[in-house]
Amino acid sequence: MNTGIVTNNLLFFLVGAWPAGPLGGLALTVLLGAGAGLLASALGLAWGIALAQCRGWLHLALHASSELLRAIPVLLLMFWCYFLLPIVFKVDIPGVLTVLLALALVSGAYLAHAVAAGIAAVPSGQREAALACGLTPRQALRFVLLPQALRTVWPSFVNQCVTLLKDTSLAYIVGVAEFTFVANQVNNREQVYPLEVFSFVALVYLLLCSGVQWLGKRLLAGRHAPKSG
């Protein structure tokens, strides 16, 4: 085992070419994951609520679009964003932003299904009782249905965040210099210790994803605490 290849390139692994060039490496992976995660959560929540509330052709359109996004490999979707976004918005969009949007879109589609299912899983008596108490439908959703639904959906949120974090590695293929890209660069430059390089990278991702999972469990436990008293 040659650990020198990791320690000698450690700074490059962590931040890429920064500060001489754009930020990259592990820092970019974390930023991409966090940014896309936030965006996906907001999108998934809105999409899921709309899916649960709308009827008719709007429901069909929302459902079909999320199914379509889920049926295409994420990689292909990244290429799509790479190609289509500049045409639609008529401006040059940096690769990082493309990846961010693609990841948020896919994860949002997955989360939308989970949120809609969570809302559907709340017993119908809850809504009826809330309306009977004089709450408007909007208030019933906000104060009665959503809090219960989100508790059921929380594990899906955490899992989706982990998936998203892992999927940031795909940015490597469209040339965004995140952690996997940087690792591959080091591997191509040195060409002698691929096992060491990729073991290190795998270990870092493992720690990162396990950390997110652990945090998710802790937060869920915190949410349940007042109820179980």
- Interface residues with another protein (CB under 8 A) are 68, 71-76, 79-80, 83, 87, 162, 166-170, 172-173, 180, 183-184, 187, 193-195, 197-199, 201-202, 205-206, 209-210, 213
Identify whether the C-beta of residue 47 lies closer than 8 Å to the C-beta of residue 59. no
DSSP 8-state assignment for residue 141: I
To the nearest 10°, the Cα dihedral for 58, 80, 48, 57? 10
Q: Give the 3-state secondary structure of residue 90.
A: coil
Least distance CB 198 / another protein (angstroms): 4
3-state helix, strand, coil split of the chain in percent (to 5) is 85, 0, 15
What is the longest distance spanned by two Cα atoms in the chain?
71
- Closest to another protein by CB, 95 vs 194, is 194
Least distance CB 128 / another protein (angstroms): 20
196, 227, 198: which is closest to 1 by C-alpha?
196
CA dist 170 and 103 (Å) reads 10
- Closest to another protein by CB, 29 vs 146, is 29
Least distance CB 134 / another protein (angstroms): 32
- Closest to another protein by CB, 46 vs 209, is 209
Count of alpha carbons within 13 Å of 46, Cβ hemisphere only?
7
- Closest to another protein by CB, 81 vs 140, is 81
Least distance CB 190 / another protein (angstroms): 11
- Closest to another protein by CB, 144 vs 201, is 201
Least distance CB 132 / another protein (angstroms): 27
Spell out the residues 6+ positions from residue 75 whose beta carbon is closer than 8 angstroms to its own.
170, 173
Least distance CB 177 / another protein (angstroms): 15
Identify whether the C-beta of residue 188 lies closer than 8 Å to the C-beta of residue 112. no
- Closest to another protein by CB, 20 vs 88, is 88
- Closest to another protein by CB, 142 vs 217, is 217
Least distance CB 42 / another protein (angstroms): 24
| Single-letter amino acid code for the residue at 59 | H
Q: What are phi and psi of 90, to 5 degrees?
A: 60, 25
